[in-house]
Chain A
Amino acid sequence: MKTSARIAAIALSGLALSLGAHAEEVYRDMTPYIDYGSKPRASDDARHTNTYQYWKDNARIDPQRASSATQFWTVNWKYKDPPFNDTLHGGHDAQDRGAELYRQLNADGRFAACLGAKKGELKGLRLQYPQYRKDMQRVVGLEAMIEHCADKQGMKLVNGSYDNSAVSVYITAFSNGMPIRIDVSKGPLKESFENGKKLFHTKAGWTNFSCATCHVSVVGKNLRGQTPTTHYGDVAHWPTWRSKDELQSLHVRFTECNRNSGVQPLQIGSKEYTDIEVFMTALSNGYPVVNPSQRD
Chain B
Amino acid sequence: MKITLLALAIGGLTAAMPAVADEALPSNLLYDAGKEKKTVWPLPVKNSGELKYNEHRQDLSKWPTLSYEDKRPTKKAEKVELQGPLNGNAENGKKLAMNTQRGNCWACHALPGDVQPGSGGPPLLNVGTWGYSDAHMYQQIWDRRVANPGTEMPPFGTNGVLSDQDIRDIVAFLQSLN
* A9: chain B residues within 8 A (beta carbon): 4, 7-8, 11, 78, 80
A163-B49, A247-B44, A266-B67 known; A26 vs B120 contact (CB < 8 Å): no
CB distance from B48 to the nearest CB of A (A): 6
Q: Which of A1-57 contact B (CB under 8 A)?
A: 1-15, 17-18, 21-22, 26-29, 31-32
Q: Contact mask B63-89 → A, CB, 8 Å, 1/0?
A: 111111011111110111111111100
User: Contact between B29 and A267 (Cβ–Cβ < 8 Å)?
Assistant: yes
- Is the beta-carbon distance between B83 and A1 smaller than 8 angstroms? yes
Residues of chain B within 8 A (CB-CB) of A152 are: none
A12 in contact with B7 (CB, 8 Å): yes
Q: Mark B1-38, 1 if CB is under 8 A from A, else 0.
A: 10011011011001000011000000011110000000
Q: Are B80 and A8 in contact (CB-based, < 8 A)?
A: yes
Cβ of B117 within 8 Å of any chain A Cβ, yes or no, is yes
Interface residue from A26, A207, A217 paired with B72 (Cβ < 8 Å): A26
Contact of B31 among A160, A209, A224, A264 (CB under 8 A): A264
Chain B: interface size category = 35 or more
Q: Report the separation of the CA atoms of residues A204 and B74 in the bound assembly, to the nearest whole angstrom.
A: 7
A171 at the interface (CB under 8 A from B): no
Residue A123 interfacial (CB < 8 Å): no
Interface contact B65-A6, CB-CB below 8 Å: no
A99 to B120 CA separation, bound complex (whole angstroms): 43
A32 and B49 contacting across the interface, CB-CB below 8 Å: no
A27 touching B73 by the CB < 8 A rule?
Answer: yes
Chain A hits for B31, CB < 8 A = 264
Q: Contact string, A184-196, partner B, CB cutoff 8 A, digits 1/0? A: 0000000000000
Task: Give the segment of A107-115, A229-237, A251-259 that binds chain B.
Answer: A251-259
- Whether B108 contacts A218 by the Cβ 8 Å rule is yes
Interface window among A79-87, A127-135, A268-276, A278-286: A268-276
Which residues of chain A are within 8 angstroms of B107 by Cβ–Cβ distance? 223-224
| Mask of A84-105 contacts with B, CB within 8 angstroms, 1/0 | 0000000000000100000000
Most chain B CB within a 10 A radius of its CB, from A9, A206, A222 = A9
Q: Is the CB of A208 within 8 A of B74?
A: yes
Beta-carbon nearest neighbor of A164 in chain B? B49
Contact status of A158 and B49, CB under 8 A, knowing A10-B79, A255-B41: yes
Interface centre among B39, B47, B117 (most CB of A within 10 A): B47
Which positions 210-263 of chain A face chain B at CB distance < 8 Å? 213, 217-218, 221-225, 246-249, 252, 255-256, 258-259, 262-263
Chain B: minimal CB distance from A58 (Å): 26
Asked whether, in the complex, the Cβ of B150 is within 8 Å of the Cβ of A32, the reply is yes
B156: nearest residue on chain A (CB-CB)? A206
B50 and A161 within 8 A (CB): yes
Contacts of B84 in A (CB 8 A): 1-6
Q: Is the CB of B29 within 8 A of A265?
A: yes
Q: How far is the CB of B149 from chain A (nearest CB, A)?
A: 8
User: Taking A7-B8, A268-B51 as contacts, is the C-beta distance between A29 and B74 under 8 angstroms?
Assistant: yes
Which of B45, B64, B83 makes the CB contact (< 8 A) with A205?
A: B64
- Residues of chain B within 8 A of A252, CB atoms compared: 42, 44
Closest to A167 in B: B49
Besides A156-B50, A161-B49, A265-B60, 5 other CB < 8 A contacts? Answer: A1-B83, A162-B45, A205-B60, A205-B64, A264-B29
User: What are some 28 contacts across the A-B interface (CB < 8 A)?
Assistant: A1-B86, A4-B83, A7-B164, A8-B7, A11-B7, A11-B10, A11-B78, A14-B158, A18-B72, A21-B19, A26-B73, A28-B74, A31-B152, A32-B150, A162-B48, A162-B49, A165-B44, A204-B63, A204-B64, A207-B154, A209-B154, A218-B152, A223-B107, A252-B44, A263-B63, A266-B67, A267-B28, A271-B68
